Amino acid sequence: MNFEQLGLIKPILDALKVQGYEQPTPIQEKAIPSILQKKDLLGSAQTGTGKTAAFAIPILQNLSEKEQHKNQIKALILTPTRELAIQIEENFKAYSKNLKLKSLVIFGGVKQHQQEQQVKKGVDILIATPGRLLDFISQGIIKLHHLEIFVLDEADRMLDMGFVHDVKRILKLIPAKRQNLFFSATMPKEIAKLASEILVNPVKVEVAPVSSTADTIQQSIYFVEKDNKPDLLIHLLQDQKLDQVLVFSRTKHGADKIARKLHQSKISAEAIHGNKSQNARQNALNNFKSKKTRVLVATDIAARGIDIDELKYVVNYELSDVSETYVHRIGRTGRAGSEGTSFSFVDGLDLANLRNTEKLIGKKIPVVTDHPYHTNDLVEQKRDSNNKPFIPRPKPQQKADIGFKKPKNKGFFRKK
């Protein structure tokens, strides 16, 4: 199957060629024809599958054939994070370079003036995070009465981040008659319910369930004591082949600490997490993309959706308690079939998570022993919610049984 066979128009085909896309990914092959026919769609797919193009391409084609409501918002894409929003807009811009459709991205955390000015110039396709969109609607800056297509991206992440209420408010503010496209990496009950409230007779498309890790990613485990993790990372980075490395840290504080340690060893590194301003995050991401910085240390939320073409190396500095996170993390590399390598550092606190992760992905991850910090002596420990070793509280001593039986008459102790 190629893009021509999907019935795409020449301006889009030409733009895809410029992007170097040779053939559609499975989700594109399945979703594009239905979206072109203006059907609702329920897509079960994570980032890295080519899902953005799967909805962006047919939306562009359908809107390019319309004469009415030029420069008015006809498609809205809601997405949970600013990074994702920016990336989606970059995709729309790339695929529409030969069309006369305007796309724009708006998100919170930065002053609104510039975004407001751009909205006023006219927009056909709006990509937004929920908070900023509601802000603009309530100020009368954005009107959605010509909306025809509504896309909810990363619905499960919307739920995680507490945006579902905002999404429901937005749904009440848009025309009832519209095409709906709903994407989620996982389908917990609450998400399935939300989908059923939004979609009408949807076509269902499912690709690469979250438990599968791409075969093109070479995965490895390093058993290491916690205190040796910084040195192990520096040791791995002595290999200059690792020129662009994304390191995952469980905590914001941990991310800063890792970046500092790398700096001390003259390795360029920056950290991104929720405590940094939007501008600082975007700058760090740009520096990493352009390879000005060699290592980007990120927390899971900050890294979700980071899309770097040809990122080859991912380090899990710790394993997450949520096994699916492993799949999402290493999915940053080996995207759309290219090759990638992941290194996971496992100490006593990570052992239980390693077991659960291997259960989820259904395979054992090979252990690398050939490094100076290898240990066979890890002892399994649990973490508490602060990422510290969990120390169980001593159980209260059982009261001695003195043979006293509570009377059955409940009124026995009541004062008269």
**Site residues (vs ligand AMP, CB under 6 A):** 21, 24-25, 28, 47-53, 307, 309, 335-336
Q: How far apart are CA 148 and CA 322, in angstroms?
A: 37
> Quick count: other Cβ atoms within 10 Å of Cβ 363?
11
Smaller CB separation from ligand AMP, 48 or 230: 48
Shortest Cβ contact with ligand AMP: which residue?
52
Work out the number of other CB atoms within 10 angstroms of the CB of residue 10: 9
Rounded least distance, CB 90 to ligand AMP, Å: 9
- The nearer residue to ligand AMP, 48 or 58, going by C-beta atoms, is 48
How are strands ordered across the β-sheet holding 313-316? 217-223, 340-346, 313-316, 245-248, 295-298, 269-272
CB of 5 or CB of 251, closer to ligand AMP: 5
Q: Which is nearer to ligand AMP, 31 or 354 (CB)?
A: 31
Count how many residues are written for the chain: 416
Contact of 53 with 29, CB cutoff 8 Å: no
CB of 51 to ligand AMP, least distance (A): 5
Q: Tell the smallest beta-carbon distance from residue 27 to ligand AMP (Å).
A: 8
We find the least distance from the C-beta atom of residue 375 to ligand AMP, in angstroms, to be: 37
Tokens read off for 288: 């990493």
CB of 127 to ligand AMP, least distance (A): 13
How far is Cα 138 from Cα 305, in angstroms, rounded to an integer?
Answer: 28
| Residue 24 or 80 with smaller CB distance to ligand AMP | 24
Task: Give per-residue burial for 371-396: e unless 16+ CB within 10 Å, then b.
Answer: eebeeeebeebebeeeeeeeeeeeee
Q: Which is nearer to ligand AMP, 7 or 389 (CB)?
A: 7
**Nearest distance from residue 303's CB to ligand AMP, in Å?**
13
**Closest C-alpha among 11, 119, 18, 124 to residue 57:** 11
